[in-house]
Amino acid sequence: MNHARVYEIRVDGFASLAEAIAAQDPIARLLCPDEWHRGPCEIPWSLGVADDPSDPERAALVIGVLTTRLKALELLRPIGEVTGCSAELVEADPSDHEELVEQHRIEALLAD
């Protein structure tokens, strides 16, 4: 199936919340190399941090994307390279990333 869905790319294993937050800028530049570009990003995305589910003393980076599964999977390797941690893809609840759904809806209207 090749429909756009909301996915989370989780990067677990940061030693601290500060380390996970510091990884956000390089990830943002990976997802959007030119922050001043005209028009929307090819893939709507968002960044956040959470507790690492395997170790509450550690932190995780949560990258929300609205794209096809194939494109989301293609992001795992470069995100892992940038962070030095393994990245995992999970299908997410769209209500957890309403800003991505709204961004996608607005951009679809503008494209028509």
* Residue pLDDT tens, the chain, 112 long: 568 899 999 999 899 899 999 999 999 999 998 888 787 788 889 999 988 888 888 899 999 999 999 999 999 999 999 999 889 999 999 999 888 888 877 777 666 6
CA atoms within 13 A on the CB side of 22: 8
* Domain 5-111, second-level architecture: 2-Layer Sandwich (3.30)
In this prediction the pTM is 0.87
Per-residue model confidence (pLDDT) at position 42: 82
d(C-alpha 25, C-alpha 33), whole Å: 11
d(C-alpha 111, C-alpha 17), whole Å: 38
Strand order in the sheet with 45-52: 45-52, 55-67, 5-14, 87-91
**Residue ranges of domains in the chain:** 5-111
Per-residue model confidence (pLDDT) at position 56: 80
Per-residue model confidence (pLDDT) at position 111: 63
